Homo-oligomer: A and B are copies of this chain.
Amino acid sequence: MSALNKLTTLERLLGYSFTDRKLLSLALTHRSKGSKNYERLEFLGDSILGFVIAEWLYKEFPKLAEGKLSRMRSSLVRKETLADVARSLNLGEYLILGEGELKSGGFNRDSILSDVVESLIGSIYLDSDFEHASEFIFKNFSDNLLSISEHSNFKDAKSQLQELMQKRGMKLPTYSILETQGEDHEQEFSVECSLPDMSVTGLAVANTRRNAEQKSAALVLEQINQNGFL
């Protein structure tokens, strides 16, 4: 397939046709090809993605606290999530890599694939406007956005963790304060959450004991979810 045909195919996959095809090429070009590469576009695209996801979370979950929103955003924009999006768009085939990266399988490396999702967002924004960039994000992140909505049952982390343990007939989580630091108005609590029946722990620091317990429970839940335990 010629380079031009290839870009046309990619545009179809992206659901967006570029006025300036050079922007599309740049968004696909890894630094192993030279100093004219996707990194500046990635910088821009990352900030657009951050804003679009933050606004969506803010409006979708009007009752959730900031800490929870931040954790949800981190999980939506983390490297693995972006690399999945890249693979669903088959982006690996369109990367423009230097010799070395080409040989060593750069087209399938999470770090490069995730970068390119962000550089594409940046390039669509520059080629058109915020609305098109935002549309691209919602189209390609819809599965992730949907699943985060379904899993967010609005219960706090401690309750979720307790219910999970009860459902599995396992011993309930325990919380221990490891340290208290600082003066009265700026105290910090370090709390560790442990599961007696599993070798999973979560250590968190926060300004109140309650918050530290919630954060430590959330960390344990994340580990359980990510590692597919239970």
Contacts and interface: CB of A to CB of B under 8 A. Distances in A.
A185 interface: yes
Interface stretch (A15-23, A34-42, A79-87, A141-149): A34-42
Interface string A35-66: 10001101110111011011100100000111
Nearest to A39: B66
Interface residues of A, number: 31
Given A43-B66, A54-B43, A69-B40, A184 B35 contact: no
A66 B50 contact: no
A67 B65 CA distance: 32
A159 B51 CA distance: 35
Interface stretch (A99-107, A160-168, A212-220): A99-107
Interface centre among A35, A51, A64, A65 (most CB of B within 10 A): A51
A181 interface: no
A185 B104 contact: yes
B47 A55 contact: yes
A51 to B, nearest CB: 4
Interface centre among A40, A48, A103 (most CB of B within 10 A): A40
A64 B40 CA distance: 8
A67 to B, nearest CB: 8
A111 to B, nearest CB: 9
Given A100-B184, A100-B185, A185-B106, A47 B51 contact: yes
Contact of A54 (B44, B65, B101): B44
A109 to B, nearest CB: 9
15 contacts: A35-B65, A39-B65, A40-B58, A40-B65, A43-B66, A43-B69, A44-B54, A44-B58, A47-B53, A50-B51, A58-B122, A101-B185, A104-B184, A104-B185, A104-B186
